Amino acid sequence: PRWLRRAWRAAQLALAAWAAGQAYAALDGPQAASAPHFPYVLLPAAAAVLAFAGVLAALDGGILVTAERVPARTAWQGTLPRSLAPVAVHGLAGLMMAVLWQSPYGPPAALLVLLPMGVSCWVFAQYHRERAAHQATIRALVQAVDIKDRYTRGHSERVGRAAVLIARELGMPDERVEVLRFAGILHDVGKLGVPTRLLRKEGPLTPQERRVIELHPEYGHEMVRGIGFLGDARAAILHHHERVDGSGYPYGLTGTQIPESARVVAVA
């Protein structure tokens, strides 16, 4: 639930801030901040950043293991670097503001730090708006397929979730997992190009009708070719009906000729 996620996030940040404060104080941070030379404060500030990022990483990995059932051996992969980069940038900005605040120029000089922070916030918001637009594009495509093919209804979302589980079990990085989620959700989008009467036909298909159905991976690939953010998901859409022994379609690829993303979606 949304309220629980917000409570978790707030508690996570509070614990991280407490740990950062403890690390800062343990290395005589308050005395260093009041020292006449700026470099004295760098060591306790760096320790505070590491403590903050470390707590975030530990808790992020822990919630993946307990709530998301991610294998423990992969839950913490990359969590510390992902936490450390933004915390280090914001920690440096905070340190600059604190030092300038105590300078002869006083608070007005410290407020100058807010300008790059504001730009950073704007860039971050733009990224999230772009991501929301990507999600909306995918939802629209999936809804169109669900309306056209009753069998597919809900199937695409389930394949997307299964692809994510497989990717995590294989220890793939988060960016790769996200691509496979897109691939799983959109793997049947090419059915929009198949006549509805064939998708809803009762009983077996004729060989000619089956050949038409088997064109849907190529239709799907053509439909998403220009959507740049899908990346390797496009290959999965085209090849998800290939089989390791070469009996699949549309090109009869075998073994490692089949892209890894397509193999994952095929299993999902």
Q: Which residues are catalytic?
A: 191
DSSP state of 68: S
Q: How far apart are CA 203 and CA 209, in angstroms?
A: 12
Dihedrals phi, psi of 242, to nearest 5 degrees: -70, 155
Torsion, CA 257, CA 262, CA 263, CA 267, rounded to 10: -160
Q: How far apart are CA 12 and CA 129, in angstroms?
A: 25
190 close to 217: Cβ distance less than 8 angstroms: yes
Q: How far apart are CA 156 and CA 133, in angstroms?
A: 19
Kindly state the tokens that stand for 183.
Answer: 């691939």
For the chain, what's the residue count? 268
Q: How far apart are CA 153 and CA 200, in angstroms?
A: 12
Q: How far is CA 103 from CA 35, 39, 85, 96, 100, in A?
A: 12, 14, 27, 11, 5
Q: How far apart are CA 210 and CA 54, in angstroms?
A: 55
